Amino acid sequence: MARNAAGSNDSTPEGAGSGVPVHVGIIMDGNGRWATARNLPRVEGHRRGVEALRRCVRAARGLGIRYLTIYSFSSENWSRPLSEVSELMGLLKLFLRHDLAVLHRAGVRIKVIGERSSLAPEIRSLLEEAEALTRDNAGLTLVVAFNYGSRQEIAAAAAKIAAEAAAGRIRPEDVTVETISSHLDTAGIPDPDLIVRTSGEQRLSNFLLWQAAYAEFVFLPIYWPDFDEASLSAAIAEYQQRDRRFGGVTKRAGP
């Protein structure tokens, strides 16, 4: 499979991208196109996408990945046809109700990032229930980016910091990279080492813009419903070949 990439991450400043990445982010793209190519309704692509997510979580656990962030629903996805949004909400509810117990028994901890105040009470309650039930689990942390947009996340963090400065709790000159990171939805979660996007598209689409500053990128030409353990292993194998310099000089270079 042809893949392209660029980038690097500062969570493991050892240089080369050897070993299994601690944190993998995945932009699950191509459900609709997968269905269209098979003359199926788009919702069938989303259903098959849920099956791919189950495979991905199992594979991540088996490979020893500690954090897996999935871009499940962006803040821009509300602009899709109402019928499709309704189907997506239904699939989310189905996934949480049917898979939550399985994930909990497997020691998976669920963390949800994204704006919640505008969500329907039923959806918000399900997300909070998933987090509360799995809070003390010590296995894979599954970070669900739902109603998430990175620009909005950064703007909200800036607003919080501005409010603290106005209240005299922080001086503007003391605001650092760490200050901003600690006010993001992902506070306490290491930055992604690897970001994978399916469907062949090569862009972040408002996903983890701040956190991905030094991430490696692998773009797979397959649609998300076809993603499986072999796909994840192939992305990690490419990651392991990268020379991660973090702005410095490669260790492989001569004097």
pLDDT, tens digit, 9 for 90 and up, residues 205-215: 999 999 999 99
Predicted pLDDT at 36: 96
Predicted pLDDT at 247: 61
Q: What is the pLDDT of residues 240-252, one digit of tens each?
A: 999 776 666 665 5
Tally of domains in the chain: 1
Q: Is the dihedral of CA 89, 218, 104, 183 positive or negative?
A: negative
Contact call for residues 201 and 71 (beta carbons, < 8 A): no
154 occurs within a structural domain: yes
Where in the sequence numbering do the catalytic residues fall? 29, 77
Tell me the one-letter amino acid at 239. Y
- Averaged confidence pLDDT in the chain: 89
15 occurs within a structural domain: no
5 occurs within a structural domain: no
2 occurs within a structural domain: no
170 occurs within a structural domain: yes
CB atoms within 10 A of CB 254: 4
Contact call for residues 198 and 4 (beta carbons, < 8 A): no
For residues 90-116, one letter each, b for 16 or more C-beta atoms within 10 angstroms of the residue's C-beta and e for the rest, the string is ebbeebbeebbeebbeeebbbbbbbee
254 occurs within a structural domain: no
Distance CA 106, CA 108 (A): 6
C-alpha 119 chain-centroid distance: 19
16 occurs within a structural domain: no
Q: Which residues, listed in sequence order, are joined to residue 217 by a DSSP beta bridge?
A: 195
End-to-end CA distance of the chain: 35
Range of the domain at 182: 23-240
pTM (two decimals): 0.87
CATH of the domain at 143: 3.40.1180.10
37 occurs within a structural domain: yes
Predicted pLDDT at 246: 65
Predicted pLDDT at 12: 40
Count the helix, strand and coil residues of the chain and give each as a percent rounded to the nearest 5.
45, 15, 40
Tell me the one-letter amino acid at 224. W
Q: Which residues of the chain have pLDDT under 70?
A: 1-18, 245-255
